[in-house]
Amino acid sequence: EDPFLKMSQYYESEWLDRQESDMIRWLNALLMPTDKLADDEQLNDLEQAAMAWEEASKTSQRNKPMQFATQKDLFVSQIYKQSPQQWGALRKATSNLITSTNVATVLSKLTISIEKDLITVRDDRQIH
Cα gap 58→100, rounded to integer Å: 23
Q: Phi, psi at residue 17, to the nearest 5°?
A: -65, -40
- Does the residue 128 lie in any domain? no
- Does the residue 123 lie in any domain? no
- Counting the structural domains of the chain, the total is 3
- Taking residues 26-36, report their average pLDDT: 65
Nearest residue to 70 via CA among 84, 88, 51: 51
- Does the residue 127 lie in any domain? no
Q: 59 or 119, which is more confident?
A: 119
Q: Is the pLDDT of residue 33 over 60?
A: no
* pLDDT above 70 as % of the chain: 45
Is residue 2 located within the same domain as residue 28?
yes
* Cβ-contact 127, 121 below 8 angstroms: yes
Is residue 63 located within the same domain as residue 89?
no
- Does the residue 121 lie in any domain? no
Q: Is the pLDDT of residue 89 over 70?
A: yes
Task: Tell me the residue range of the domain where 28 lies.
Answer: 1-32
Q: 39 or 91, which is more confident?
A: 91
Output the pLDDT for position 40.
57
Full-model pTM: 0.33
Question: At 49, is the secondary structure helix, strand, or coil?
Answer: helix
- Does the residue 37 lie in any domain? no
